[in-house]
Structure 1
Amino acid sequence: MSLVMFDYDGVIADSLDVHVKSFLAAFQENGYTQFKTAQDIINLYEDNVYRSMGALGMSDEDIDRVLASYKEKQDRLLEQIELFPHMAEFFREISIYHKVYIITSNTADAVLRVLDKKGIIGVEKVIGFETEKSKIKKIRLAMSWHPELKAYYVGDTKGDIYEGRQAGTVTVGVAWGWHSPDKLKESNPDYLVYSPRELIKILREKA
């Protein structure tokens, strides 16, 4: 058995369109008009998204205002979010043998609403930005609950891989998310997988 922690957006949920629409509108509403395209949003995930926002001169208060606006706008669009293929079967299978958590920069409430609607079972807990903005701290929190288990973090962006590594996990990049395989390789994940079945195989071999 291992501790397997997943990012949500771009790994489980095919949510880029909703995410971009919500974030762009939130930035514009709060006066950050330099954000105009999907790529502007994706670029924030070269690192922790909140650290990237801070590096652009946004204060903690500014970030919190944008996040509140983002949450309001995303909540209206949750019905549009689909999961990547075969996720229900994947989580049903993986949760039989492993402890499964979702560590996300999104809100836990939004994630849980989508997972419930899509019939996803087997997730121990979703830890979102309302708990802590740093994924490193959230990953380490989950690791503290299962210190005896080997820990994996599965993400789709360079920022995910950097934070998973800094937290002390084995890092797994997925090729179907927001950053391309070539972009992910720049962060040197321990593994790069092209399907959920590949991840199951890795976990089985390394158990």
Structure 2
Amino acid sequence: MKHIIFDFDGTLADSTMVFMAAWNTLAEKYHYKKIKLDELESLKKLSIMERSKLVNFPMHKMPIFIPQFYQLYRQSIKDVHLIDGMKDLLQEIEKKGYKIAIISSNDKENILAFLHANNINNVSKVLCSSRIFGKDKIIKKYLKDSNLKKSDVLYVGDEHRDIVACKKVGIPIIWVGWGYDSIEVVQSEKPDYKVYSPSEILEII
């Protein structure tokens, strides 16, 4: 094991409130259903398709919608917070000689701004997919460009689609229990590891 790859939203960063605010702004503009604060926990137990149906959002409009969404996200980047214990975890991983990368479907500019604001400078590479279900292709590119075998990397993520992407590529994944998808959503995909605190990630590594 040489490289540890992290997802961003829901794994490294708590962006729940920013996500909700950005969604509600666009929902009002395009007449979709807004999300209420007391609905967040129940939404975690739904798949992306189920959530989109609940808020009357047609998934085929995602390519048009996403750039606007992340532009609103960028305006509230100061309200995105690092998950407690993550900074220490990243420092410990670096001390042990591992390379750290981020692969996300968020916008690269957003992630770099967040890392700078939180004085995190031990992430060697940030790669982003413009497609919400395109992470497997980005992971494959990362392996090829870094001359890595599948057994050289470990992915840390919080969503069902993260696990699906890792299974497609054939790399192990740690699912974190504080993110956007609950255990009910991800357990059918059988993540290699399940954790509920950053310190457990270090134990697995």
Is the pair's TM-score, using the shorter chain for normalization, greater than 0.5? Answer: yes
Residue from 142, 167, 170 that aligns with 1:168: 170
* Alignment RMSD (CA, Å): 2.8
Report the Cα distance in structure 2 between the residues aligned to 1:35 and 1:173, rounded to whole angstroms.
28
Report the Cα distance in structure 1 between the residues aligned to 2:125 and 2:132, rounded to whole angstroms.
14
Q: Partner of 1:200 in structure 2?
A: 202
> How big is the shift at 1:112?
1.0
Higher mean displacement: 142-151 or 184-193: 142-151
Q: Could you report, residue by residue, the CA deviation over 1:58-104 in whole angstroms, capped at 9, with x for unpaired residues?
A: 43xx3232112112211111111111112222111212321211111
Report the Cα distance in structure 1 between the residues aligned to 2:58 and 2:49, rounded to whole angstroms.
17
Q: Is the 8 A contact 2:85 2:199 kept in 1?
A: no
The list of structure 1 runs, each at least 4 consecutive aligned residues, that deviate by more than 6 angstroms after superposition, is none
Report the Cα distance in structure 2 between the residues aligned to 1:183 and 1:132, rounded to whole angstroms.
17
Runs (5+) with no aligned partner, structure 2: none
Q: Is the 8 A contact 1:91 1:121 kept in 2?
A: no
Report the Cα distance in structure 1 between the residues aligned to 2:48 and 2:103, rounded to whole angstroms.
15
Q: Partner of 1:146 in structure 2?
A: 147
Q: Is the 8 A contact 1:136 1:164 kept in 2?
A: yes
Q: Partner of 2:63 in structure 1?
A: 64
Q: Partner of 2:99 in structure 1?
A: 99
Q: Could you report, residue by residue, the CA deviation over 1:7-29 in whole angstroms, capped at 9, with x for unpaired residues?
A: 11111001111112213323442
Matched residue SS, 2:123 = coil
Q: Percent identity?
A: 25
Q: Is the 8 A contact 2:105 2:131 kept in 1?
A: no
Report the Cα distance in structure 2 between the residues aligned to 1:67 and 1:106, rounded to whole angstroms.
9
Matched residue SS, 2:115 = helix
TM score, norm. by length of structure 2? 0.82
> How big is the shift at 1:41?
6.9
Runs (5+) with no aligned partner, structure 1: none
Q: Partner of 1:90 in structure 2?
A: 89
Report the Cα distance in structure 2 between the residues aligned to 1:102 and 1:45, rounded to whole angstroms.
21
